């Protein structure tokens, strides 16, 4: 008997024994099947039947004996079961008063969404005790219907765990669509109410709004990039050097630079007379370009050229600090002291290395230098 056949036979046996054994014992047996311990599940069922002297039919005894043998348990335990020819009518009663599905949505919504094959969930109240050691009544019963390919033991274990986590006491019964149900389940379904498990749809995320860029996409002209870099690093001019703001509105959108504007370089501009203009002289632009510039852009260009002129003047002043004041063509010899030093001074005598004298006079193999 393979594992799937063993699990299916245990599932049908648990359906047949529902209402005759304790609710806790039925839940524990499903949990053992779900965690791949069928031998312990069979021994638990046989032990509950023997301890409570619960009668079984001859067909149920045969099924239990085969399961004990398949799981390599003591098959002789089945011979000690109480066997009757026909089971009495099911004594259990159910009702749907007092909202049996109340509170189950919060406990089961998340777990049912991630379980495959769940078709419906119903709930009812059982007002009669079950098993040899029954619990308090009324007892909530949750009935879960699954697809034909679902795994009842695993789903029943997950649902029971979710109910325990939500502090909800209930007996869980799981069955597949098309299963032949005993009287216990048919009576429970007749008095059951559906559990609403539909979750509220998630709020749709707002769509991103499209905006129009003022600068065309692509590589910006070199002059525009250099102008922006100079504006970021330039210091704030004094109040008396700031250009007077025009009377018109200041928050005007800057249009993308045209081809004529992109041709304007930040280098010194050549005036009409042929002389190059710097930061000391006013900047002259071609008439076609100057007509398209706004007052703000003219101020930016003036500040840019002023900054470049200041940097150029500062570089010329600092370049002469590192030159030695010596006549042209005259080299610095080893006998001359360094600049700022009047005479050379000899340091303390250096001791002979490892006790050997200096070879200042040389040897026959190595004559002295000079």
CA distance linking residue 183 with residue 20, whole number of Å? 12
Record the tokens describing residue 356, joined without a space: 């050997």
Residue 142's pLDDT is 96
Residue 223: closest CA among 134, 301, 291: 301
Cβ contacts of residue 295 below 8 Å, gap of 6+? Answer: 243, 246
Phi, psi dihedrals of residue 124, rounded to the nearest 5°: -155, 170
Residue spans of the domains in the chain: they are 3-84, 94-194, 222-235+258-317
Cis peptide before 273 (omega within 30 of 0): no
Q: pLDDT 10s per residue in the chain (370 long)?
A: 667 788 889 999 999 999 999 999 999 999 999 898 999 999 999 999 999 999 999 999 999 999 999 999 998 999 999 999 999 999 999 998 888 988 898 889 888 888 888 999 999 999 999 887 777 889 999 999 999 988 898 899 999 999 999 888 999 999 999 889 999 999 999 999 999 876 544 445 455 445 444 444 454 445 544 554 555 444 544 444 444 444 544 444 445 555 444 444 444 444 444 434 444 555 566 777 777 778 888 888 888 888 888 888 876 655 555 444 444 445 545 455 555 555 555 555 555 555 555 555 555 445 555 4
Record the tokens describing residue 31, joined without a space: 């949990």
CA distance linking residue 224 with residue 262, whole number of Å? 7
Q: How far apart are the first and last CA of the chain?
A: 108
How many CB atoms are located within 10 Å of the residue 278 CB? 15
Residue 62's pLDDT is 94
Q: How far is CA 164 from CA 24, 47, 104, 157, 168, in A?
A: 12, 25, 11, 11, 6
pLDDT digits (tens, 9 = 90+) for 332-353: 454 555 555 555 555 555 555 5
Residue 339's pLDDT is 52
Global pTM? 0.53
Record the tokens describing residue 191, joined without a space: 């008095």
Residue 281's pLDDT is 55
Cβ contacts of residue 151 below 8 Å, gap of 6+? Answer: 7, 34, 117
Q: Is 118 helix (H, G, I), strand (E, B) or coil?
A: strand
Residue 111's pLDDT is 87
Residue 91's pLDDT is 92
Residue 255's pLDDT is 53
Beta bridge partners of 139: 126
Q: Do 144 and 125 form a contact (C-beta atoms < 8 A)? A: no
For 147-213, give the DSSP string. Answer: -TTS-HHHHHHHHHHHHHHTT---EEEEEETT----HHHHHHHHT-EEPP-PPPPPPPPPPPPP---
CA distance linking residue 104 with residue 117, whole number of Å? 19
pLDDT digits (tens, 9 = 90+) for 257-312: 554 444 444 444 444 444 344 445 555 667 777 777 788 888 888 888 888 888 88
Residue 30: closest CA among 20, 19, 15: 15
Residue 238's pLDDT is 47
Residue reference for tokens 């406990």: 107
User: Which DSSP letter does residue 215 get?
Assistant: S
Whether domain 94-194 has CATH 3.40.50: the reply is: no
Residue 354's pLDDT is 54
């Amino acid at each position: 008997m393979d594992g799937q056949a063993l699990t299916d036979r245990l599932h049908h046996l648990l359906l047949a024994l529902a209402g005759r054994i304790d609710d806790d014992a039925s839940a524990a047996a499903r949990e053992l099947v779900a965690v791949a311990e069928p031998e312990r599940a069979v021994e638990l069922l046989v032990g509950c039947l023997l301890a409570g002297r619960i009668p079984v039919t001859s067909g149920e005894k045969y099924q239990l004996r085969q399961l004990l043998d398949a799981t390599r348990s003591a098959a002789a335990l089945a011979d000690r079961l109480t066997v009757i020819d026909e089971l009495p009518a099911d004594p259990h009663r159910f009702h749907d008063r007092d909202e049996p599905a109340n509170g189950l949505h919060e406990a089961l919504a998340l777990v049912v969404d991630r379980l495959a094959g769940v078709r419906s969930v119903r709930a009812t109240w059982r007002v009669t005790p079950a098993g040899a050691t029954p619990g308090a009544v009324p007892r909530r019963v949750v009935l879960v219907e699954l697809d034909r390919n679902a795994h009842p033991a695993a789903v029943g274990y997950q649902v029971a765990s979710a109910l325990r986590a939500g502090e909800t006491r209930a007996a869980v019964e799981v069955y597949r669509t098309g299963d032949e149900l005993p009287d216990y389940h048919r009576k429970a379904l007749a008095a059951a109410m559906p559990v609403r498990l539909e979750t509220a749809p998630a709020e749709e995320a707002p769509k991103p709004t499209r905006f129009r860029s003022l600068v065309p996409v692509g590589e910006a002209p070199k002059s525009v990039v250099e102008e922006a870099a100079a504006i970021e690093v330039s210091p704030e001019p004094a109040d008396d050097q700031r250009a007077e703001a025009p009377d018109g509105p200041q928050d005007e959108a800057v249009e993308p630079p045209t081809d004529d504007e992109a041709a304007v370089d930040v280098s010194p501009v050549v005036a009409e007379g042929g002389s190059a203009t710097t930061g000391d002289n006013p900047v002259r632009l071609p008439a076609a370009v100057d007509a398209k510039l706004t007052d703000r852009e003219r101020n930016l260009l003036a500040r840019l050229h002023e900054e470049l002129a200041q940097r150029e003047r500062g570089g010329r002043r600092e370049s002469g600090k590192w030159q030695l004041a010596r006549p042209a063509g005259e080299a610095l010899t080893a006998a001359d002291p360094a600049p700022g030093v009047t005479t050379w001074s000899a340091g303390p005598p250096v001791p002979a290395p490892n006790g050997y004298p200096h070879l200042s006079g040389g040897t026959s193999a190595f004559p002295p230098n000079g």
